[in-house]
Amino acid sequence: MLKIAVIPGDGTGPEVINEGLKVLNATSQKTGFKYETQVYDFGGERFKRTGEILPDSVLHELKQFDAIYLGAIGHPDVKPGILEKGILLKLRFELDQYINLRPVKLYPGVETPLKDKGPEDIDFVVVRENTEGLYTGSGGFLKKGTPDEVALQTSINTRKGVERCIRYAYEYTRKRNKSKTLTLCGKTNVLTYAFDLWERVFYEVGDKYYPDIKKDYAHVDATCMWMVKNPEWFDVIVTDNMFGDIITDLGAMIQGGMGIASGGNINPDGVSMFEPIGGSAPKYTGKNLINPMASISAAQMMLSILGEEKASQIMENAIVKVLSTKLKSLQAGKMGYSTTEVGDLVCEEIVKV
Ligand code: IPM
Ligand code: MN
């Protein structure tokens, strides 16, 4: 019995999570895997009502689950940073979800802004370090508010943190078994300490344990360029937290936008968390217009990471079918169907299998 904690969150989060749960249910009836869910109402509304963000007792409770399924965090009435840091980043750090796994896959029938590129060209995965770098909150102000003010924001890169991320990326590349190429995305020409460490670990670990994997390096700016010009060159990209954040938004756009992009916050030995990466999209809240595919995709990735490969495959096939034969666009309000109808369409495909 899989135990799944559900945090629908803010804005359109609850709407897209509902569709994901609907599809999860249809899939479980088809393939027989058993699961139970428990819903937690953390997010902007609860914060406004009670002042509570994420109590430690709940954090402790969440550690008992097999996975967390998250909608979106971010509320227009709450100052940016409070909920993101207090919920999303806190969960990533406290549950030691040290990998942020973001597939960039253009499905058939989905439009990409890249001219002359198709599904055979856009199919790679970004392995983003998820607990270190510029995200640790290390830094501070000196003489704040004065003309002599100093603001420091330090990128923390530990040997242990870098190595476990790089090892995961190598393992993933091997298992994925596509062109067996792992690209380190960094900035060794300027960030000569942080990426010196990354580069050394990348080749040390790679040469010793992964001789079968081709190793490549690209600066982050060049990575952006190649992702647009020659996305077919990439198989798996490994990078730090900040660069990973940035390049995966670019990745989301070339795979058809936020309507389809999902990610997993992975602790290979603990509790992982799966989410659509598009945010809470407050202006669409409650309108039944938002695209739930990213959230459905996140649920599919959750099943795959939990070892339910068959169920995950059935779900992905259904997603592909609906994307290629039904949806007019992936944009909210332009799909030709409502949010709930898109969920229904995916369920229909699953029932048919
Ligand atoms: C993401 C988001 C988060 C991040 C924000 C909401 C803190 O942009 O998951 O990519 O920067 O990691
Ligand atoms: Mn981001």
Ligand whose nearest atom lies closest to the CA of 73: 1
d(CA 239, CA 220): 9
134 lies in a domain? no
- CATH code: domain of residue 348: 3.40.718.10
What value does the mean pLDDT of the chain take? 97
**Tens digit of each residue's pLDDT (9 = 90 or more) over 263-284:** 999 999 999 999 999 999 999 9
Domain span including residue 295: 1-97+271-353
Confidence of residue 36 (pLDDT cuts 50, 70, 90): very high
Average pLDDT of 219-229?
Answer: 98
Q: Which atom of ligand 1 is nearest to the CA of 100?
A: 9
**Tell me, what's the pLDDT at 180?**
98
**Tell me, what's the pLDDT at 101?**
98
Q: Which atom of ligand 1 is nearest to the CA of 248?
A: 10
Ligand 1 mutation target, pool 7, 131, 153, 245, most atoms within 8 A of CB: 245
Query: Does ligand 1 have an atom closer than 6 angstroms to the CB of 84?
Result: yes
**Tell me, what's the pLDDT at 220?**
98
**Tens digit of each residue's pLDDT (9 = 90 or more) over 133-152:** 999 999 999 999 999 999 99
Which of helix, strand or coil describes residue 237? Answer: strand
d(CA 149, CA 56): 34
Average pLDDT of 35-54?
Answer: 95
Q: How many domains does the chain have?
A: 1
42 lies in a domain? yes
310 lies in a domain? yes
154 lies in a domain? no
Ligand 1 mutation target, pool 73, 79, 85, 88, most atoms within 8 A of CB: 88
| Residues sharing a CB contact under 8 Å with residue 30, sequence separation 6 or more, in sequence order | 311, 314, 350, 351, 353
313 lies in a domain? yes
Q: Which atom of ligand 1 is nearest to the CA of 84?
A: 7
**Tens digit of each residue's pLDDT (9 = 90 or more) over 108-135:** 999 999 999 999 999 999 999 999 999 9
**Tell me, what's the pLDDT at 232?**
98
219 lies in a domain? no
pTM of the model: 0.97
